[in-house]
A and B are shown apart, each in its own frame.
Chain A
């Protein structure tokens, strides 16, 4: 495969830790913009990010970032900044040194490194506390100083592992604004999160992961459409579950009507929830069935996510 100098390419990438699967057969390419990796803990998001940045090596396949690989560190790490999830710092370091010394390793002279350090601290809102030891920082401050280090050298690809963890609402909104501003400059921003809702608004595309597999990937609209076409589940608790189930089955858009073990509840899967609610109104007003409770079983973001990753955690 000829590496594209604008894209990030995962070419049939697998990673095994001995016999344990990290990620398996990952194939996708990313254009500039904000990409979110979403999946539960242990789904392989961090493994994918560590592979992308060369902290670990793939067991199979190849990864290209703007046509470069981590085996060319001098060029590669001038283009890539990675804010990891590791909440550890060199002992005794302060916020300023934490950013300044890596910049010196980039080859920047003293004056240029100072300028870039101050700029990164300003952007991350850490300028006031930069001379304090990192060991005395709050979790949110530690998160932001790592972010400052990752952006200090003006990378073209910014990789952020759970960057909103531990941030208060104000810092969270500032960070999101920063990510959006960086993406608008034509850069790649790759964000991982285990909460789809958190990154849904700002993402140009999402990669949904589960148990080491990519289960859905694409523009956020495509994923949303896929979700919209998926039957919705509605739970109805009533006096006569059998009658309600048979009435529901007469409707074209109802895919399934299942009487639950308590004998008084029906779980209906329908492609048109509005029509089903109309039917329910008719049944209730006709006195055929008394309804105790109606609740959508899966209309939140997590249920969309559950659908996409499958109930068994395997690929959908």
Chain B
């Protein structure tokens, strides 16, 4: 078969797909999954992961009444540290591990996966629907947490804080945090979804992934591109000082333009999702009724 014939055949196949049905199924899957998993007692630990910095900043908000002129710069670095070191490296990482690995493994543990496999839904649609549901849950929680952190940090500074946000770089920094938080949820989410389809117990590969994300900066540039953190660190609006423990996050082998970082991470996410679409076909319902 020639390349031209293959292209025509692929185009015909794509045209024949019931895209409207796929879209409606994805919408139902997302709604159902979010309804089941966003507001539930099982997710309390995820809420805690998202809220720990909020609680700390809130305490700081009420207890520390000394506001000096250099406070804005100091608080901006503190907020950058919270987002870059806590949320991106720990909070979102572990929350995504819990949320996304549970999407399929949880159904196996609860012996309910067969309900997902006995409906007229392509398995690829199931993967995309579940991924988007996980993305909605994690993005809603962590974006809300980051927004509250940002609001508390600058609102305690009064007029100076207001001026920094609306007349200074504040709003663009907020946009950067919102972007990296969403991208982190998508990137880590895709990785953990694929790991859950590859391994029965994704905890060990999850720990290995954490190790990889930590040591990736010392590897050659092409290897760094296989790390989610590689793209995120180029998008963070405030560069942290490179001394002390923050140095782990701030080693930059090669500067990357923000557009390329966003595009690169989205490509990585899509590539991992495509892999998941292949992996889901291996999944069988092997649990028993006992």
Which A residues are within 8 Å of any B CB, using their own CB? 17, 46, 50, 53-57, 73-78, 80, 82, 84-92, 101-102, 104-107
CB distance from B181 to the nearest CB of A (A): 28
Contact partner of A107 (CB less than 8 A), chosen from B117, B120, B284, B289, is B120
Q: Nearest CB to that of A76 among chain B residues?
A: B120
* Complex CA–CA separation, A92 to B286 (angstroms): 23
Q: Which of B84-127 contact A (CB under 8 A)?
A: 110-112, 114-115, 117-123
Q: Nearest CB to that of B120 among chain A residues?
A: A77
* Complex CA–CA separation, A101 to B27 (angstroms): 11
* Complex CA–CA separation, A86 to B40 (angstroms): 24
Which B residues are within 8 Å of any A CB, using their own CB? 18, 21, 24-25, 28-29, 32, 36, 40, 42, 110-112, 114-115, 117-123, 284-289
Known: A74-B120, A90-B36. A57 touches B28 (CB 8 A): no
Contact partner of A105 (CB less than 8 A), chosen from B112, B121, B285, is B121
* Complex CA–CA separation, A130 to B110 (angstroms): 22
Q: Nearest CB to that of A46 among chain B residues?
A: B289
Number of A-B contacts (CB under 8 A): 78
- Chain B residues with Cβ under 8 A from A82's Cβ? 114, 118
Q: Interface of chain B, helix or strand or loop or mixed?
A: loop
Evaluate contact between A56 and B28: CB separation under 8 angstroms: no
- Chain A residues with Cβ under 8 A from B112's Cβ? 86, 88-90
Q: Nearest CB to that of B21 among chain A residues?
A: A107
Evaluate contact between A78 and B120: CB separation under 8 angstroms: yes
| Residue among B285, B286, B287 facing the most chain A CB atoms (10 A cut-off) | B285
Q: Nearest CB to that of B117 among chain A residues?
A: A55
| Residue among B29, B42, B118, B284 facing the most chain A CB atoms (10 A cut-off) | B118
- Chain A residues with Cβ under 8 A from B117's Cβ? 54-55
CB distance from A256 to the nearest CB of B (A): 40
- Chain B residues with Cβ under 8 A from A55's Cβ? 114, 117-118, 284-285
Contact partner of A56 (CB less than 8 A), chosen from B25, B29, B284, is B284
Evaluate contact between A107 and B40: CB separation under 8 angstroms: no
